[in-house]
């Protein structure tokens, strides 16, 4: 069984919550319903990360984060992710991402899939101050 949750909190609190979940052991029952042994609950994070940087560095930042020139292999392995990306993109008011034409200083995150969600241009108030 898989359960997907959304949690929001500071890094230390989020880490503590996830560590508590990773420590949970559940009884694995035999056909009579008797506990046979215990299994540790699996926890995999599904993070939404917002990065701030000058617009002209988009390709470089995506490459540094581990985004390749196309993400078909990740999206094909996780078809529900395609639907989620579209819904999340619309909810957050993001534009669909254009993948980098070439990789610059590509970083491969270990045991992670990194898929870009979208971009949003900087906005400014009437005094020219950037709204964050």
pLDDT in tens for each of the 132 residues of the chain?
667 776 767 788 888 888 998 999 888 888 888 888 888 888 888 778 788 888 888 877 877 777 665 555 566 676 777 788 888 889 888 998 877 666 555 566 666 667 788 888 888 888 888 776
Q: What own/partner pairs with CB < 8 Å and gap ≥ 24 does 69-76 have?
A: 69/99, 69/100, 69/101, 69/102, 69/103, 70/99, 71/99, 71/115, 71/116, 74/113, 74/114, 74/115, 75/115
Do residues 39 and 25 make contact, with C-beta atoms less than 8 angstroms apart? yes
Give the predicted TM-score (pTM) of the model. Answer: 0.60
């Amino acid at each position: 069984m898989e359960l997907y949750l959304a949690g929001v909190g500071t890094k230390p609190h989020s880490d503590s919550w996830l560590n508590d979940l990773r420590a949970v052991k559940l009884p694995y029952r035999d056909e009579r319903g008797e506990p046979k042994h215990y299994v540790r609950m699996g926890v995999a994070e599904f993070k939404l990360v917002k990065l701030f940087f000058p617009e002209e560095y988009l390709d470089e930042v995506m490459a540094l984060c581990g985004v390749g020139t196309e993400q078909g292999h990740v999206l094909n392995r996780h078809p529900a992710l395609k639907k989620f990306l579209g819904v999340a993109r619309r909810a957050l008011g993001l534009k669909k991402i254009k993948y980098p034409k070439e990789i610059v200083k590509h970083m491969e995150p270990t045991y992670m899939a990194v898929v870009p969600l979208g971009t949003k241009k900087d906005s400014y108030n009437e005094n020219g101050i950037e709204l964050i």
